C-alpha cells in the first residue's frame, strides 16, 4: 500500500481523468517557468511541460480592433450556421462566438471530432446564458480598440472632479478582468 498517491484536488488528478480543459491565458515566460520547476509534483510537472510545449508551438494570429478570438473557431464551418433568429439582430461573428462558447462548454464531455450540430450548440449557448452558467463565456474575447484600451483601467487613479481628467499617470491601461487588450464575451454580457 505504500505506492498509493493521495491527491488533494481535481487539478492533481486531471491527467488521469477523461475530461479535458481549456486555458485562455496570457501567462508570461516567468509564470510558465515558475510552474515548470523541478520542485513540482511529477504529474503536474509533466502537464506544465506539455502546456509550455503547446504554447511555444502555436502560431498566434494577430487580430485587429473588434475582431474576435474564438476557441475552435478555425473548425467552425460558417456556411452551415443558420441565422434565422427572432430579432434578426446578430451577425455571423456573433453566431460563431455562440458556437465557440458552446464548444468550450462541451469540452469536458464531448470530443470535437466528426460533424458539429451548430443548432444544438447555439441552443446550448442560450441555455447556459439563461441558467447563469458563465464560465464558458470567459474564453471568447473581442480585441479592444485604442479608445477602449485607454478606458479599461485596472486599479485606481485620481481624477480631477472639475475637468474629469486623470491627474496621476495610468500604468494599468487595457485591462478588462483578467485580459489585457481583450474584452471577454462574459464582460460584454454582464455590462448589458
Give per-residue pLDDT as tens, 20-49: 566 666 666 666 666 555 666 788 888 888
- Domain annotation covers residue 115: yes
3-class secondary structure, 166:
strand
Is 192 inside any structural domain? no
pLDDT digits (tens, 9 = 90+) for 98-135: 999 998 888 765 555 667 788 888 999 999 999 998 99
Q: What would the pLDDT profile of 63-108 be if each residue is shown by its tens digit? A: 999 999 998 888 888 778 765 554 544 577 888 899 999 988 887 6
Distance between CA atoms of 186 and 164, rounded to whole angstroms? Answer: 29
Q: What is the pTM of this model?
A: 0.61
Domain coverage including residue 25: 13-57
Q: Are residues 81 and 129 in the same domain?
A: yes
Q: Are 146 and 115 in contact (CB under 8 A)?
A: no
Same domain flag for 24 and 50: yes
Q: Report the distance separating Cα 172 and Cα 180, nearest Å.
A: 9
Examine the domain organization and report whether 165 and 132 are in the same domain.
Answer: no
Mark whether 134 and 181 lie in a shared domain.
no
Check whether residue 115 and residue 104 sit in a common domain: yes
Task: State how many domains the chain has.
Answer: 3
Identify the residue whose cell numbers are 480585441. Answer: 143
**89 and 130: one domain?**
yes
Amino acid at each position: 500500500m505504500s505506492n498509493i498517491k493521495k491527491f488533494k484536488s481535481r487539478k492533481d488528478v486531471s491527467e488521469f481523468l477523461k475530461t479535458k480543459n481549456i486555458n485562455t491565458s496570457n501567462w508570461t515566460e516567468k509564470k510558465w517557468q515558475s510552474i515548470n520547476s523541478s520542485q513540482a509534483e511529477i504529474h503536474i510537472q509533466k502537464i506544465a511541460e506539455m502546456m509550455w510545449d503547446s504554447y511555444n508551438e502555436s502560431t498566434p494570429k494577430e487580430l485587429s480592433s473588434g475582431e474576435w478570438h474564438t476557441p475552435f473557431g478555425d473548425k467552425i464551418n460558417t456556411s452551415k450556421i443558420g441565422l434565422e433568429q427572432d430579432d434578426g439582430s446578430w451577425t455571423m461573428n456573433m453566431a460563431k462566438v455562440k458556437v465557440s462558447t458552446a464548444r468550450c462548454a462541451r469540452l469536458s464531455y464531448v470530443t470535437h471530432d466528426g460533424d458539429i450540430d451548430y443548432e444544438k450548440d447555439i441552443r446550448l449557448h442560450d441555455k447556459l446564458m439563461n441558467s447563469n452558467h458563465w464560465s464558458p463565456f470567459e474564453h471568447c474575447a473581442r480585441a479592444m480598440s485604442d479608445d477602449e484600451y485607454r478606458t479599461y483601467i485596472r486599479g485606481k487613479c485620481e481624477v480631477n472632479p472639475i475637468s474629469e481628467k486623470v491627474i496621476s499617470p495610468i500604468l494599468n491601461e487595457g485591462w478588462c478582468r483578467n485580459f489585457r487588450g481583450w474584452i471577454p464575451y462574459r464582460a460584454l454580457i454582464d455590462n448589458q
